[in-house]
Amino acid sequence: MNFPKVAVVILNWNGKDLLSRYLPSVVDCSEGEAVELIVADNNSTDDSIAFIQENFPTIKILQLDENYGFAKGYNEALKQIEAEYYILLNSDVEVTSGWLEPMIELMDNDSSVAAVQPKVLSWRQKDEYEYAGAAGGFIDKLGYPFCRGRILNVMEKDAGQYDQVTNIFWATGACMAVRASYFHKAGGFDEDFWAHMEEIDICWRLKNMGYQIQFTPYSKVFHLGGGTLSYDNPRKLFLNFRNSLYLLYKNLPRHKFYKVIVARMILDGVAAFKLLSEFNLKGFTSVFRAHFSFYKEHKKLRKKRDHLKTIATPQWHDEILCKSIIWKFYFKGQKKFQELS
């Protein structure tokens, strides 16, 4: 049975407005016999599906029977899609001409490359990197993510300073090209994450399996960001803090995890009280709920960690900053990736 080389898969939930704004660029810039465009719908209650059927009849629609969230939603959809490469694309991303080829070429030319991300710029500020991915993702020793072009909440202007193909630690879920066979070999996204940081988790797992994650500047997209949940939304804060603990426990060597968890408790507590000082009471409680959830699920996570040892060895990597990004940002004043050692 013939199947496409590349499947561009957009997960949708009640996103008609976003689809109407951004889907035209995907259709216009993703032509080719080897490319299939697919919208996987998380049981939307708006008229997203009718809109696609009427305006984009060439797009294939996969209708899921409930809202599974980002992680399980993609897992359920990708089980039904045969392709050599998946492009996981947010519904709030505008793509540009020639965006597919540079990512696919990197994987075609090197079987050790499991996933690739493009340059992700802000849809609102076209010359500025966007929060979710920028020019490639990294984490520090305590599990706090940052990017080339974005340290914490400070975004850099794109002046070509990161226009090199390079190894990174994680590729953004906003636009990630991933080798289908490796995605399934790694077990797909961890569905307990629901949403947020599941892409860091699977990238770390792929790296533990011996594969590489790369960034290419020759593919460029524009991301709206916060299309589903705003960055200070209590639900998003809960998921980010909790899932960060999840991925550290699952992917770090055990002795390293127990060294960082005390520091995380202190720093996350500081973050919680900062939110309280900003009168974000729900955000404040989200941080403590995240830690409580992690401790409550410890036994389940331990079983998951033990299972993952059968396919990958928890380990440190060169792309992990051996210092604290919080320390470097607030006390060293290092707010650009190029300033980090």
- Domain locations along the chain: 6-223, 234-334
Q: Strand pairing partners for 139?
A: 145, 320
Which of 87, 276, 230 has the alpha carbon at shortest distance from 77? Answer: 87
Model pLDDT, residue 226: 66
For residues 77 and 62, the answer to whether their CB atoms sit within 8 Å is yes
Task: Give the pLDDT score at 1.
Answer: 42
* Strand-strand pairing, 137-140 and 145-147: antiparallel
- Grouping H, G, I as helix, E, B as strand and the rest as coil, residue 318 is coil
CA distances from 47 to 53, 54, 66, 134, 167 (A): 10, 11, 15, 32, 41
| CA dist., res. 259 & res. 244, Å (int) | 15
Closest CA to 14 of 40, 47, 57: 47
Q: Name the pTM for this structure.
A: 0.94
Model pLDDT, residue 231: 56
Confidence (pLDDT) at 313:
86
Q: Is 221 helix (H, G, I), strand (E, B) or coil?
A: strand
Could you tell me the two tokens for 273?
Answer: 């009280």
Which of 205, 164, 176 has the alpha carbon at shortest distance from 117? 176
- Residue 211: the pLDDT is 97
Question: Does CATH place domain 6-223 in 3.90.550.10?
Answer: yes
Tokens encoding 136: 């490639």
pLDDT value of residue 325: 96
CB-CB contact of 9 with 33 (8 Å): no
Tell me the pLDDT of the chain (341 aa) as tens digits. Answer: 466 899 999 999 999 999 999 999 999 999 888 999 999 999 999 999 999 999 999 999 999 999 999 999 999 999 999 999 999 999 999 999 999 999 999 999 999 999 999 999 999 999 999 999 999 999 999 999 999 999 999 999 999 999 999 999 999 999 999 999 999 999 999 999 999 999 999 999 999 999 999 999 999 999 998 645 555 688 989 999 999 999 999 998 888 898 899 999 999 999 999 999 999 999 999 999 999 999 999 999 999 999 988 998 888 899 999 999 999 999 999 999 999 97
For 13, 176, 194, 211, 306, the CA distances from 8, given in Å and listed in that order, are 17, 10, 21, 22, 33
Residue 170's beta-bridge partner residues? Answer: 137
| 22 three-class SS | helix
pLDDT in tens, 188-245: 999 999 999 999 999 999 999 999 999 999 999 999 986 455 556 889 899 999 999 9
